[in-house]
Chains A and B, each alone.
Chain A
Amino acid sequence: MYSITNTRIVVAGNGMVGYKFCEKLLSRKKNDQVFQITVFGEEPREAYDRVHLSEFFAGKSADDLSLASKEWYQENGIKLLLSDPVVDIDREQKCVRSHHGHVVYYDYLILATGSGAFVPSIPGVEKDGVFVYRTIEDLEMIRSHAARAKKGAVLGGGLLGLEAAKALLDLGLQEAHVVEFASRLMPRQIDEAGSRTLKNQLESLGLQIHLGKSTQEITGGDCLEGMQFTDGSLLVVDMLVISAGIRPRDELAKIAGLETHPRGGIIVNNQLQTSDPAIFAIGECALAHHMIYGLIAPGYEMAEVVATRIAGGEKEFLPYDMSTKLKLIGTDVASFGDPFIEEPACKTIRFENKAKGIYKRVNISEDGKTLLGGILVGDASQYNMLLQTFKNKTILPPDPEDLILGSRGGEEAGAGVMGFPDDALICSCEAVTKGMLCHEIGENGHHTVDALKKCCKAGTGCGGCVPMVKDIIAGVMKQKGVYVRNVVCEHFNYTRQELLDLVKMAGLKTYGTVLDEFGHGDGCEVCKPLVASVLASLWNESILQKDRAPIQDSNDRYLANIQKGGTYSVVPRIPGGEITPEKLIVIGQVAYKYGLYTKITGGQRIDMFGAHLGDLPSIWEELIEAGFESGHAYGKSLRTVKSCVGSTWCRFGVQDSVSFAIEVEDRYKGLRSPHKLKSAVSGCIRECAEAQSKDFGIIATEKGWNLYVCGNGGSKPQHAQLLATDVDKEMCIRLIDRFLMFYIKTADPLARTATWLNKMEGGMSYLRAVIVEDSLGIAADLERDIQQLIDVYQCEWKEVVRNPELRKRFTHFVNTPEKDPSVTFDTMREQKKAKEWV
């Protein structure tokens, strides 16, 4: 017999969990099932990623955060009613009524109404300038108010409060304060010592932290002017974000007579049923196992449980782990398991490095065998590993302190991610286990993170598990005896290093010949710039000649950095940051003539922004006339060699750092590499040029120079490491020659020197052996190869300015000399600025 069951489902709430429920239900649906789904959402837009809400301030649009488009709902037959909350439930008739008067009948009703910000009843909370932090609309209001505000505060020093406070800083407020009632930050996640470390770290980021403060009143007229505390002190602010916790949205459940908790939350059983078995509650409105789970992973798990049950399967919601890692704040914080358990119930190992702002604590079972919980502040790189060790009750190594200190004997502590059992949860947002991943990789041939994201959604939530997913891919492939090659793209089945060797041996100099010889298809935006970089690193011929112009990344192709709005920036080289008054005047004149915005860069030179494509050649003609050269700010090549003033003026200087910096910059300018290269030279140990944050940095000593390599700023800063001590200038240059050429030849595309070193087997001792001791016997080759590149250097702008054919390419239109009429500017502090994205 063939029968089709038609089930009517109403979902109240189109937040993250409500949406996930729909998605899961569709995927669990069997062929003979028909679900007629109606979703009511109170907010005006389709479901979006609330977890990454703060990225709205970092330039993400509502669209970027969106989890599903209108079309998705349509294609899946889901009726979506937005700006239309459910206002009543008739449990007898089994129907809901919405604000706009829609009445819809259900077989199952899913309450996914989430929670709202908890706003304590402090006098004055209703004033203008007081906000909560929950929806895109909240953030839009905060942004527009912040543009006029100077001093902001956040009430609440928990996970969300700190995120909001960082957002205030990023919005450009002069002061951002965090006011917390408890005596420590993140009281639910970290201990006193952790809070102290975190407080120091946050203060160094520019936040001001007030602990143990109870707010009596929010002062001011219509608009707030300050916060009055019970201890008599006053904090003057012109905006306040309240982040004092969440309040489950159980009002609808209450109206319908469902059982709710006196402190908020719709009470559900292990199947997530409310006191009415036809009504389920999931996400932040549901109180399961006596608690509200204010995190996304348990919310998604709840969606999974209800979707599975409605589709006829069996699943229960079990107590869920609440481990968390704080994101976005500029310093790492994480806690897992039971962070607070004290001796004698456990053994606690603590590690603190005040200078570096690191605090770590792990709690270990009395018998020393398993991990019970812990706290990481300042460095949470071991979080995923520790979390898995805790969740899977993995037996600890004999020296459990290795867990947080890293093993100091050379061997890695623990067996790594491949040592986890198959049911270890790797992606907790999407509930993907290690076993599932291994299956997808090993049996179904999904060998890339992208492929895994598609087939099992791992890594699509908060993204925190992606590094582990990569390790598992490598692990499975290794087990299968497959050597994982990081091949370029679908057009080239080689790694960058292999391709470089092949191109060199074959002596190829154009993209077309490389593609014909070693690739297939037409190429793409991944392999073209990669081959461009390889060709430049091998031969250093003009990047715009032969067929090489259209394979360059857009910035290289126009020898300038493209800006918002489609104009370009111009950065002439100013070696070592030293410049004559005459040249300064020329920069001023050029900027004035072409109406450019000028700014001193972080690299000790001057950037001129807002140049029309068609003006670039004339601008450069004038600069070159005055003796300037390209600064290669657009290329994966040497940027700046910063200097401090050194012994020529400074009373502490022991060597002439400016002269050496200029010499180094002139030597390596124009050198193309897998990623950009930065350097600096300091005149003494005080290190004013910040050489230890550079790809290669030089610091003067009484006896010569110390050479450091593989430092990095950027989002994962890393200090450079000492390669050689007290060497003379000549030796220093030779070591840099070898180092750079070795990097150019062996690094993956777009890997900075720090990343390259981190992946290198044998690490710094291996690198030192190759570069200083010449253990591979290649030092002479490296020196010769780099000298060849240096010998053929030419300023590429000079070439363009003098070559009418090349010059012709710098126009916006091919059929008229007009400039792009869509380019317009705003003004700010008497200079122009790019128009905001629309």
Chain B
Amino acid sequence: MDVSRTTLRLDPWPPEYDSAVQFADLESESAGTVNADVETRDWQPIQPDSVGDYEEICFVDGVRRIEARVIADSHDKMIHGLFGSIGVGAVRVRAASASFTGITVDRFLILGEGLLQKEQIEVGEHTLVFEGLASAQNSPIELLGELQNLMRTREAQLGKVLSSQNVCVFADGPLTYFASTRDEVVGIIKTIHIPYLTQKHFSVVGRLLPGQRTPLFAIEDGKYNRYSWFLRLAVGRKLDHILAGVIRLEVRAALGLESARRIANFAAHELPRFVSSPARDVRAPQNLAPVGNLETELRHRLGDPLLLRRGIEKKLLEGVQA
């Protein structure tokens, strides 16, 4: 019996990144109206030769961690909560030097059903303050969403501070959280779940060579109108799927088409040199080397999870015994 089989290709990211990725990126990827003709009608890979005119590039990123989940003793009701930490920071690249900047760590005690409580946890000689945050929600996944929101908001704040005429800021994920529409901030979406484009247009993505981008297309959902494009950073292995090594970038539509094109060309020219290798980062090449190191640094700054957990347990025990 002759059965033609479908060729399967590998998504090279380890499966454990799935949940986080989807959670992070799906939030704004509901496609509105897509207009593929904003830059050109002739859809071909574009190889930009402009060097761009930014003096500095910043990569903004954040990490979050649940230190402990709790359930509040509140009458007959089950109220979920969590102790969470978030770290946000950036890598500043100027000439031939890269350094960390603007790293902050914040900690929260998020409780459902509008319950607000702040906790001070003793770890060694230090007192860590977990700020209280009351959530209207009450499911564990929704509370995690709150923590994610806090992280995204802080990333956006840092991105806004860093952005200026001479600085191009690359943020992690879509630009949903950026309140201002005029900052020259570029969102990098590392995993592509929705093609946005028609089959005809999307086929160009598969033909991109490293350093090439697609023409810009507009995504208009009435709320966060933006220009977007695909960029190939590197070529994946033969068994990797066609989009391994491709990222989607976006800028706010309010910047104007000309600025968007300039930024798109700059990104296509600059980003491939920051590509990581699979030996260094399992999420290579999409997860750029500076971002990978920033995440490691941020996780490190969150502190030792075991120590924090012990501190929280001690505090909770005191509450139980009181």
- Indicate whether A and B interact: no
What is the interface of chain A, defined by CB distance below 8 A to chain B?
none
What is the interface of chain B, defined by CB distance below 8 A to chain A?
none
